[in-house]
Each structure stands twice: as structure tokens, then as C-alpha cells.
Amino acid sequence: MTAAILRLHTAPATSGHTPNAAESADVAAQATRIVLDLILFAERHALPTPSDEALLIDGEVIARWPADLWCKAYRRLWETWAYRRMPTAGDFCAVIDTDLAGPHVSPAPASGTALPSSSAHASIASPGRPAPLRPPKTVDDCIATLRAAGIGTITTWKNRARSRDPNLTREDLADMTRWVPTIADLLTTIGLHGSP
């Protein structure tokens, strides 16, 4: 058990019986399961595991999402992840960003596993759900998609732009409107999580 999980289990309980205390306990329990899911993801894909603090923060961020959307994002990246780094909360979020903006199937449960179950998978694939994310169509779409992604995803694409155009300066790389056009054709073809 990592230090992050131990920290979640040994954190002092919030005093009082307010809904916020109960919500905090539910988020902590869900975050624990999510940290375990992330460790399993790293193990399965032979990725270096981030620091305990990074895992804990990702777990706490993700624990506030609806459970069905976390299952959808986890399954999608489990099936398609090809990078040599751990996905961040932003990478998972990029898979479900349109779903987070709209209605979802169910709220996050207070107990149970965060890993996709057959019933969760059935609800994710049900008719009426938004279509899977499609690659962006324009340079502006590419910029918006990258801004919604995690810093790791942005860095991966920024490195790809730098390899395509070695003349990009630090100032160019600090401004997405300058470097994204370099990789926009690729991003519109393979999508955010394709293999750049």
C-alpha cells in the first residue's frame, strides 16, 4: 500500500455530522479506490508510477466526477494508452469532457469499485449517450482540445511540434497559437490520444 493510500486512511476525520463531512469521507473513499486503479494502470502498462502526492491529487480530482464517467475514461485509456508516462487527471478528463458538461447516467457511488463493471459498461454504451470524442477539425478546435487536456498531453504535443519545426522559439512554445498550427494536421487526423 503506498503512502498516499495510507495517508487517505489515516487522515483525521472531519468533526461534526454535516453533509460536507459525509461528502469528504465519500470522496476520500472513492479517491482511495481511484489511486489503486491508477497504480494498477501503471503496473499493467509498465509505466513509472508518479509520486504518492501526484497520485493522491489525481485521485481526489477524479473522485468528484460521476463514477460512470470515470469508468468510461479509465476503460478508454486502458485500451488505447500508448505513451511511456502515466496519464494525468487531465488526460482522463479529455476523454469525457463533453460528458462532464452534459447529463450523465448516475452520480458517484459512496461505495463499490471504481473499476468498470459490466453494468457500468452497459450504461456507458447505452443509446442516447454522446458519441465518442472525435478529432478536432480546425486549429482553434485543436487549441481548445489541448487546453482541456492535462499538462502531460500538452507537453507531448508541444514536443511533437518542436520536432516538426526545430525553429520554434521558447516564446513560440509558450503561445499555443504559434505552435499548434505545426501539429494541427496530425491532431485533426489521429485525435488527441493518437500516437503522435
Nearest CA to 3 among 61, 65, 51?
51
Is the pLDDT reported for residue 179 higher than 90?
yes
Give every CB contact of residue 10 below 8 A, 6+ residues apart in sequence.
none
Contacts of 172 (CB under 8 A, 6+ apart): 178, 179
Dump pLDDT digits (tens) for 27-73: 788 888 999 999 999 999 999 998 888 888 898 889 888 888 999 99
Q: Where are the domains of the chain?
A: 3-124, 139-190
**Predicted TM-score (pTM) of this structure:** 0.46
* Residue 133 pLDDT class (50, 70, 90 cuts): low
